[in-house]
Structure 1
Amino acid sequence: MTDQTTADILGAAPQRPPFDAELIPVVKAYAAIMPRWSQESLAAYRQAGPRGCRERNRLI
């Protein structure tokens, strides 16, 4: 067995793509429609199960 690290096996991490300023409106629009989850609301959403999820999504 060789003494290889994960980095040796998988290689270098991929480089980060260049920043694309045209995506800013897309990211802002996505953030605007996503709900702000709190610990309480997330727990209630999970407890509602699939039926509750569909019901909530219908209201959005």
Structure 2
Amino acid sequence: MIETECFSDLNVFGPQGTRPPDLDWNQPPEPPRRSLLDRIFRRHVRISSTSTTEEHPREHNS
């Protein structure tokens, strides 16, 4: 595996031999990014949950 250079990115350092930002523990972590599917699913859940709450009171009034 070493000969295929799959670990070559482990030898990459920041400027002047310092740690790259992703390995520096003193920097705050980046906020996680939401994927497109997460955003679509989240909107879908909100729409369906609001429609179900609107339908239930109507059923009780009938």
Fold-level similarity (TM above 0.5) = no
Q: Which has the higher contact order (CA 8 A, sep 6+)?
A: 1
Structure with bigger helix share is 1
Question: Which TM-score applies when normalising by structure 2?
Answer: 0.27
